[in-house]
């Protein structure tokens, strides 16, 4: 089942930004031959570290995950905002490397010779809290290095980049760590997300600064790996509508063109992905298009597609709709925590969600099955068969962010009673800590109607909003949840203005739970359909 939800390829030789209107935050990308691979942060959702593939830098689809569960047992429960932060992907002598940080646990490395197949179990090559956003680099002489940023919340300071020599196989670090750049001393506060390259004898570190929502793209360069590094701002928002053009990846084409993939924070929908042309001036990059008199670029909204040497006609995007005909869950789905055996199975072209004991608020249930928002405006219709729920079981559809709303259908005394529930996660604590949830009962449904229930989840941009004095004109996204017993006549369950999660965009999805510690009940999800 496919849906045309967001198409960047304009099919006239041009593309529009963003190339992905979805929360693939902190992207990094590489070219290997004629193939492009991109990865992104995944925080505490599992499977983690989505791997996307493209032939032309514009049309992308998810083809794998680097890890099927988050290392460390604490992630068997939702740990919002923690887990897998900004990763890096590299290819060296036949091996693909993905290096990713977990800010409380350390820096991990996973490898493979086949990116579409299994990746190795991650190795913690730098145990301990504090370092983030690592990027490995192999020099011409065979030596390897790792550059990384720091998280003030874990180490007590920020805006500093470190370099350390790495084992050539990527499985450990060598020698002393060296501070190579301090953004606090260079008007580059919050510099982070470093990505390292080499060109014309120069070592380059691309690193955004100024903050996610209102910052810019900085590049450092030096003739020596350990510096000293000079710096230059190479992309600003300028007059474009693309705020805080942030962290990303320099990639080239077989024809010699240079491009830069980066993200933009649009609040509720998360950090969406853009593609910018890149050029060079006196051995400094310019990202985007420079206006007359400027030595930095501004982001483009539409541009000619990259010349990748061939004409690729396949139009694709990450999957959304699902009728569950495969033997495994589609790549669009992630759990709210590390998945456990027995939560689900696929049978008779349907998804069976088994009732998991509910011992916390809805937003902290580990067995929420979620996917990213795929567009600025869309409708998702979920068809459920709830006739197999047992007494005190429930199932429904959730909109998941710091503020969340959901509809759940509870089996109570031979009746199915819908409830609209809203809640809000508190900031400031790592472990789940929520306010009380508000609950509103809706008109009951007979068990005869339980085999055919439809939930309509709609997202619309209804205007703009200012988040604080410096963060202005962000989209205001409104969510409505409706339900029906015939798929035609819908009744409003609840609505809300969306608020993103902790470093992630809002997700929507399905769940099944029970007050009973053991239940044989389950919900049947017949299909999930997305529409613009």
For residue 306, CA distances in Å to 34, 252, 279 come to 12, 9, 13
Q: State residue 152 phi and psi, 5-degree precision.
A: -60, -35
**DSSP-assigned states of every residue in 102-140:** ETTTEEEEEEES-TTSPPPPPEEEEESSSEEEEEEEE-T
Q: Cα–Cα distance between 50 and 319 in angstroms, integer?
A: 12
Q: Cα–Cα distance between 115 and 98 in angstroms, integer?
A: 10
Reduced DSSP (H G I as helix, E B as strand, rest coil) percent helix, strand, coil of the chain, to 5: 5, 50, 45
- The residues that are catalytic are 26, 192
Tokens of 249: 């990846």
Plot region of 470 (φ>0 → left; ψ -120 to 50 → alpha; else → beta): alpha
Query: Which residues are CB-neighbours of 288 under 8 A, at least 6 positions away?
Result: 235, 240, 245, 260, 276, 277, 278, 297, 298, 299, 300
Q: Cα–Cα distance between 417 and 122 in angstroms, integer?
A: 45
User: Which of helix, strand or coil describes residue 331?
Assistant: coil
CB atoms within 10 A of CB 274: 24
Q: Cα–Cα distance between 302 and 275 in angstroms, integer?
A: 10
β-strand pairing of 131-138 with 14-16: unpaired
């Amino acid at each position: 089942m496919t849906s045309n939800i967001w198409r960047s390829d304009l099919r006239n030789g041009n593309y529009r930004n963003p190339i992905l209107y979805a929360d693939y935050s902190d992207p990094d990308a590489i070219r290997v031959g004629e193939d492009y691979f991109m990865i992104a942060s995944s925080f505490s959702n599992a499977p983690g570290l989505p791997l996307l593939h493209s032939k032309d830098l514009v049309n992308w689809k998810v083809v794998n995950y680097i890890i099927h569960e988050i290392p460390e047992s604490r992630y068997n429960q939702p740990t919002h905002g923690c887990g897998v932060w900004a990763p890096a992907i590299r290819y060296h002598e036949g091996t693909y490397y993905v290096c990713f940080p977990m800010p409380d646990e350390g820096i991990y490395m996973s490898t493979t010779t086949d990116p579409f197949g299994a990746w190795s179990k991650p190795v913690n090559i730098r145990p301990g809290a504090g370092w983030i956003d690592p990027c490995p680099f192999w020099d011409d002489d065979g030596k390897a290095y790792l550059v990384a940023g720091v998280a003030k919340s874990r180490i007590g300071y920020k805006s500093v980049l470190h370099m350390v020599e790495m084992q050539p196989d990527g499985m450990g670090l060598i020698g002393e760590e060296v501070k190579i750049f301090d953004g606090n001393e260079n008007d580059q506060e919050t510099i982070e997300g470093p990505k390292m390259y080499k060109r014309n004898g120069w070592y380059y570190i691309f690193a955004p600064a100024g903050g996610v929502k209102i910052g810019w793209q900085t590049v450092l360069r030096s003739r020596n790996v350990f510096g000293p590094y000079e710096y230059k701002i190479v992309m600003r928002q300028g007059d474009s509508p693309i705020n805080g053009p942030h962290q990303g990846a320099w990639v080239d084409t077989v024809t010699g063109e240079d491009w830069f993939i980066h993200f933009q924070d649009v609040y509720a929908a998360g950090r969406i992905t853009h593609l910018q042309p890149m050029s060079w001036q006196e051995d400094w990059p310019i990202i985007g298009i420079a206006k007359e008199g400027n030595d930095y670029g501004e982001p483009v909204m539409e541009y000619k597609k990259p010349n990748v040497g061939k004409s690729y006609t396949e139009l694709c995007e990450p999957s959304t709709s699902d009728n569950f005909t495969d033997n495994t869950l589609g790549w669009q789905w992630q759990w709210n925590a590390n998945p456990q055996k027995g939560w689900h199975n696929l049978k008779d072209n349907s998804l069976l969600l088994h009732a998991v004991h509910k011992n916390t608020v809805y937003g902290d249930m580990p067995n929420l099955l979620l996917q990213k928002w795929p567009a600025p405006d869309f409708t998702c219709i979920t068809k459920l068969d709830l006739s197999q729920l047992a007494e005190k079981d429930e199932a429904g559809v959730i909109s998941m962010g710091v503020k969340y709303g959901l509809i759940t259908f509870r089996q109570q005394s031979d009746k199915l009673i819908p409830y609209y529930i809203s809640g809000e996660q508190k900031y400031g604590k790592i472990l789940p800590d929520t306010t009380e949830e508000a609950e509103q009962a809706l008109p009951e449904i007979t068990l005869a109607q339980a085999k055919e229930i439809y939930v309509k989840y709609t997202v619309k941009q209804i205007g703009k909003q200012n988040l604080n004095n410096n963060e202005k004109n962000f989209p205001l996204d409104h969510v409505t949840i409706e339900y029906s017993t015939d798929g035609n006549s819908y009744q409003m369950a609840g609505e809300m203005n969306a608020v993103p999660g902790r470093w992630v965009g809002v997700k929507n999805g399905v769940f099944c739970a029970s007050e009973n510690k053991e239940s044989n009940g389950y919900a049947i999800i017949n299909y999930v359909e997305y529409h613009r």
